[in-house]
Structure 1
Amino acid sequence: MPAHSENPSITLHHDVYPGIDINTRLKDAAKGKVVYITGASRGIGESTVYAYAKAGASGIFITARSISDLKTVAETAKKTSSSVVVEPYAVDVTDDKQVGESVKKCIEKFGRIDVVVANAGYLEKWTKIGDSDPDGWWKSVSVSVRGSFNVIHHTIKYLVETKGYAILLSSAGAQARYLGASGYQSAKHQLNRFAEFIQVEYGSEGVKVFAIHPGGVLTKLAANEPSIVPLLKDKVELASHTMVRLTSGSEDYLSGRYVSCNWDLDELVKRRKEIEEGDLLKNRLDIGSLADAL
């Protein structure tokens, strides 16, 4: 028996489509919300700041290691929406104390958190395990996994209060086994499982969580690995607009699952019964015919 496909039969998008358009369908979809975003100084994180500002968020707390870059993003976001308040704060997500302090500052500033986007990441140079740089390998894992854990650890009680949303930046690579990518792809696979645990532990308290593939976006970070650059042709807004929709309340049935921003969400909802009854879009071992008795 051949292995089951890991790609659903869903239309794929590479740019903003009507279902995630902030100017039309998602107009004011984030109205009044307070959003906490890591890795917000550039790339997908930066685009996410602008998307939530345009969708009506009242407050956005943005973090990254560079305060100067964050201040530039904050100024640009305010041009997108005159009513949004954007607070920049320098944080290394792998530092538990720094993350905790940033969340405290966010609550002091805005009083609550409705949406958390754990976007900070790192991409090690792809090479075989025996030839890899251990520091680079572990940094890739640490920023994605430890960083996301730190963020959720410190924000989860506030998400319980607001029955809010958490988004973890995973990757289609979580299901792949590319030569040399053992650090990055293993870390993203673990994020998918971490999202499942958040659902198991806090779903009954109203928290919704998604592990997302943002699409193949050519960011400064992704450009560190030349072999994948030709594959990165998706617009960054595909990811940021999709996140606004996922946290708008219309896709709560996908909580605890892996979701690709390339997937047409209007088509996906037509498969909702299959997804829920089969408990699909989660990490699991495919044992195929071994499930049948001899």
Structure 2
Amino acid sequence: MPAHAEDIAVTHYRDVYPGIDIATRLKDAAKDKVIYITGASRGIGESTVYAYAKAGASGIFITARSVADLETVAANAKKISPTVEVVPCAVDVTDAKQVGESVRKCVDKFGRIDVAISNAGYLGRRAKIGDSDPDDWWMAVTVSVRGAFNVIHHSIKHLVQTKGYAILVSSAGAQIRHPTASGYQSAKHQLNRFAEFIQVEYGSEGVKVFSIHPGRVPTKLAMSEPSIIPYLTDKAELAAHAMVRLTSGSEDYLSGRYVSVDWDLDELAKRRKEIEEDDLLKNRLDVGSLANAL
């Protein structure tokens, strides 16, 4: 029996489509919500700030290592929505104390957190395991996994209070075993499992969580790896708008699962019963026919 495919049979998009259009389908989908975002100074994180501002968020707390870049993003967001308040804060997501302090500042400012998005990432130099720089290899894990843990560790009690949402920015690479990419792809795979644990531990308290593939976007981070540049064909807005929809309440049945923003979410919803009954879109060992006795 061949291994099951690791992508699904729905329409795939490269840009915003009607199902995630904030100007129409998702108008006011984030109305009055408070959003906390890491890695918000550029790329997908920056685009996500603008999407939530356009969708009606009242407060957006944005973090990255460069406060100057964040201030530019905040000013741009105000142009999109004069009523949104955007607070920039310099944070290294690998520093638990800094993350905790930023979450406290967010709650002190806005009173709550409705959506926490762990977006910060790191893409190191590609090399086979034996040829890798150990510090560089572990940095991918530290930024993606430890960074996500720090965000959830400090924000989860607030998400319980609001019955809110957590999004972990993973990657389609989590499902791939590409030679020379073991650090990055292993880290993203671990994020998918971490999302499942958040669901197991806090789903009954109203928290919803998604581990997402944000598309193949030509961000500065992605462009640093020449071998993948030809595949970077998606728009950052695809991920940003999809996140607004995922946190709007219509896709709560996907909580605890891996979701690609490339997927048509309306087509996916038609297979909701199948997803729920077979508990799909989660990490598991595929034993195939070995599950059957001889």
Q: Indicate yes or no: 2:216 matched with 1:216.
A: yes
Q: Please state if 1:269 is matched with 2:269.
A: yes
CA RMSD of aligned residues (A): 0.4
Deviates more, 1:132-141 or 1:23-32: 132-141
Deviation at 1:220, TM superposition (A): 0.2
User: How many angstroms apart in 1 are the aligned matches of 2:235 and 2:194?
Assistant: 27
> Could you say which residue in structure 2 is the equivalent of 1:73?
73
Whole-angstrom distance in 2 between the partners of 1:269 and 1:115:
22
Following the alignment from structure 2 to structure 1, what is the Cα–Cα distance between the partners of residues 140 and 6?
A: 24
Tell me by how many angstroms 1:23 deviates.
Answer: 0.3
Tell me which residue corresponds to 1:135: 135
Provide the C-alpha distance between the structure 2 equivalents of 1:225 and 1:290, rounded to a whole number of angstroms: 39
| Distance in 2, Cα, partners of 1:230 & 1:51 | 26
Q: Deviations over 1:217-239 (max 9, x none)?
A: 01000011111110010011000
Distance (Å, rounded) in 2 between the aligned partners of 1:77 and 1:176 = 35
Q: Distance in 2 between matches of 1:136 and 1:61?
A: 29
Match of 2:241 in 1: 241
Indicate the larger mover: 181-190 or 133-142.
Answer: 133-142
**What SS class does the counterpart of residue 126 from structure 1 fall into?**
coil
Please give the residue correspondences for 1:45-64 in structure 2 after superposition, counting only pairs within 5 Å: 45-64=45-64
Which position in structure 2 is the counterpart of 1:37?
Answer: 37
Partner of 1:180: 180
Q: Secondary structure at the match of 2:220?
A: coil
**Paired residue secondary structure (1:221):** helix
Structure 2 residue identity aligned to 1:144: S
CA distance in structure 2 between the aligned counterparts of 1:250 and 1:199, rounded to whole angstroms: 17
1:211 maps to amino acid: S
Question: Equivalent residues in 2 for 1:80-159 (5 A)?
Answer: 80-159=80-159
Deviation at 1:176, TM superposition (A): 0.1
* One-letter amino acid of the counterpart of residue 95, structure 2: D
Q: How far has the Cα of 1:258 moved from its partner?
A: 0.1
Secondary structure in structure 1 of the residue aligned to 2:36: strand
Give me the whole-angstrom Cα distance separating, in 1, the residues matched to 2:4 and 2:96: 39
Where does structure 2 lack aligned partners over 5 or more consecutive residues? none
User: Aligned-pair distance for 1:135?
Assistant: 1.2
Shift of 1:6: 1.1
- Deviation of residue 283 (structure 1)? 0.2
- Separation (CA, whole Å) in 2 of partners of 1:37 and 1:24: 24
| Aligned equivalents of 1:87, 1:133: Cα separation in 2 | 36
Q: 1:196 and 1:154 mapped to 2: Cα distance?
A: 18
Structure 1 residue aligned with 2:204:
204
Shift of 1:133: 1.2
How many residues align? The count is 294
Q: Secondary structure at the match of 1:39?
A: coil
Letter of the 1:71 counterpart: E
TM-score, length of structure 1 as denominator length: 1.00
The separation in 2 between residues aligned to 1:156 and 1:5, in whole angstroms, is 33
Paired residue secondary structure (1:167): strand
Return the offset for 1:128: 0.4
Q: Deviations over 1:120-178 (max 9, x none)?
A: 00001111011111111111110000000000000000000000000000000001001
Match of 1:173, SS? helix
Q: Which runs of 4+ in 1 moved over 6 A?
A: none
Rounded to whole Å, the distance in 1 between the matches of 2:260 and 2:268 is: 11
Identity %: 79
Unaligned runs of 5+ in 1: none
Letter in 1 for 2:203: G
Q: What is the rounded CA distance, in whole Å, between the counterparts of 1:183 and 1:224 in structure 2?
A: 16
**What is the rounded CA distance, in whole Å, between the counterparts of 1:274 and 1:149 in structure 2?**
30
SS in 1 for 2:215: coil
- Residue of structure 2 equivalent to 1:164: 164
